[in-house]
Amino acid sequence: MFKGLRHGLAIGLAIAAAAAATLPAAAASLPATCTGALTIATTSIGTVKTAGDIEIFRDSGVAGHYSSGPLAGDAFAGAQDIILNTATGQSDLHGSYVVSAPGNAGTLTVRYTGHADLTTRHATGNFTANQGTGNLAGFVWVGTISAQLISLTPPTFTSTDIGFCLLPGS
C-alpha cells in the first residue's frame, strides 16, 4: 500500500527544510521569528535498496520554491536520504538543498531532518539555514517544519516553517 507513496516521502521533509521566511518590518540585533511557506517535490528517487519492509533511498533529488517571506520566489535544489518502513508507512529522512536568489544575487544552504507518516500524509522536522552568500550572507534561520503531502505524481509537499532568524545586517 505504501510503495506508491514512498516517493512522496522523498520530498516531505525536504520541503520543510526549505521553508520560507517572513521578514519583520525592522531588523533588530535579537533574533526575529520568521515564518514561511514552500513547495518541494521529488525530482529523482536516487539509489534504492530494499530489505524486507524497509526501503532505503540515497541521494533522492528534491527541488522547489518559496512562496512567501524574504525567500519568496527563490528556487532550491538538493538531495536527501530516506528510510521507509513500507509496512507501517513511517519514514525518517535527512537532507540539504541550496536556495538560489534570482539574478545570482546569492545562495543559502538549508539542512533538515524529519519524520513522515504516509498514512496521515503529515511530516514534521527541524531545519537550519545558513552559509549564505551575496544578498543572503549573514542570514541564519533555525526552526521546525510542518508539511503535508499534496500529490504523488510527482511526490510533492507543502510546508510551513517557523523559527528564530537573524537577518543580514542585524
More confident site: 152 or 35: 35
Using the predicted structure, report yes or no on whether residue 5 has a pLDDT greater than 60.
no
- The cell numbers describing 10, all together, are 522523498
Q: What is the pLDDT of residues 7-59, one digit of tens each?
A: 444 434 333 333 333 333 444 456 899 999 999 999 999 999 999 999 999 99
Could you tell me the pTM of the whole model? Answer: 0.81
Q: What is the pLDDT of residues 105-125, one digit of tens each?
A: 999 999 999 999 999 999 999
pLDDT at position 152, please?
79
Q: Which residues contact 29 (CB under 8 A, 6 or more apart)?
A: 170
Assigned fold of 6-166: AOC barrel-like (2.40.350)
